[in-house]
Structure 1
Amino acid sequence: MAEITTSLSIGQVAEQTGLSVHALRFYEREGLFVHPVQRGPGGRRVYSRDEVDWLTVCIILRASGMPLPMLRRYADLVREGSGNEEERLSLMREHHEHVTTQIGRLTESLDLIRFKVGVYEDLVDRGSAAAHRCHAPSPSTGSLPGSDRVTSR
């Protein structure tokens, strides 16, 4: 049985991925596709389902903060095929460490935000607009380093 290949226009891919047409062209110029984007009649870009799946990986990696040069290197490694799995693993471990650090920082930020929401909810519930200072938990509790001087601002 013959394999059926789905051909998608740049507009369809933009709609499916959430990337703009401009961003898709940018990804192509930056060498982020594993295979060259094919052209149909009239020179229009034609994408396959595999390319959309690859774009989904790229979108997730970019959303996680992977820099373009690192993403480009990853695409290069995938393009080269098997034999470079150790380098791919190293690249992914490096990015994993970056994302883990980022999550830790965001968790600290979220802790402070939750605290401030609680303080303001209490103030609003009490109807007290007279309170001038709202302190975060003391650093001695281990909650938020350096947050003992946070004000109601």
Structure 2
Amino acid sequence: MTTTEAAVPSLSIGEVAERTGLSVHALRFYEREGLLVGPVQRTSGGRRRYTSFDVEWLLICVKLRESGMPLADLKHFAELVRHGPGNEAERLRLLDAHRQRVDAQIQALEECRSVIAWKVGVYAEHLARGEAGGLWDPTP
């Protein structure tokens, strides 16, 4: 291990997988697809070593993917961040468009939850009165 490697605390791929919830396979995929902001450092033996910045970035990526951001958009966002200052307005547009999609999904899910809650109430009321027979009974 070089002096530089010893000076910067780093994590193995297994440790990063544990901290991010991503599998080792997914971490390799993220690296291959250019989703990381910087290059993953390697030990003299070729083993991947990640920094705390890498982990923070990956946690953001996980949330963006979990919220439905397309892989192409995530790649574009990572590319913009890699290029550094000067493209913040484009990053903002990308994130704002995604936020709007997430807001629309939340609204749709809230409408679904409302219908489900109403049906739960109907069934609970009928069962409590002992009148559940015939509720949506498809038989004549």
Between the aligned partners of 1:100 and 1:50, the Cα distance in structure 2 is 28
For 1:64, the equivalent position in structure 2 comes to 67
For 2:47, the equivalent position in structure 1 comes to 44
Higher relative contact order (CA 8 A, sep 6+): 2
For 2:3, the equivalent position in structure 1 comes to none
Identity %: 55
Q: Could you tell me how far 1:4 is from its partner in structure 2?
A: 5.0
Between the aligned partners of 2:129 and 2:23, the Cα distance in structure 1 is 48
Residue 77 (structure 1) aligned to one of 77, 80, 83 = 80
Between the aligned partners of 1:124 and 1:11, the Cα distance in structure 2 is 51
For 2:111, the equivalent position in structure 1 comes to 108
Which residue type is aligned with residue 54 of structure 2? E
Between the aligned partners of 1:79 and 1:35, the Cα distance in structure 2 is 7
Q: 5+ residue gaps in structure 1?
A: 135-150
Q: Could you tell me how far 1:130 is from its partner in structure 2?
A: 0.9
**Partner-residue secondary structure (3-state), 1:42:** coil
Q: State the Cα deviation string for residues 107-137 of structure 1 (Å, max 9, x = none).
A: 1111111111112222322233313339xxx
Which residue type is aligned with residue 34 of structure 2? G
Quote the RMSD (CA, aligned, Å): 2.1
Runs of 4+, deviation exceeding 3 Å = none
Residues 123 and 132 of structure 2 are in contact (CA less than 8 Å); yes or no, is this contact kept in structure 1?
no
TM-score by length of 1: 0.81
Q: Could you tell me how far 1:21 is from its partner in structure 2?
A: 0.7
For 2:30, the equivalent position in structure 1 comes to 27
* Greater mean deviation of Cα atoms: 72-81 or 90-99: 90-99
Between the aligned partners of 2:29 and 2:46, the Cα distance in structure 1 is 17
How many residues are paired up? 134
Between the aligned partners of 1:48 and 1:40, the Cα distance in structure 2 is 13
Q: State the Cα deviation string for residues 25-75 of structure 1 (Å, max 9, x = none).
A: 111111100001111132111101000000011011111110000000000
Q: 5+ residue gaps in structure 2?
A: 1-5
TM-score by length of 2: 0.88
Between the aligned partners of 1:119 and 1:51, the Cα distance in structure 2 is 50
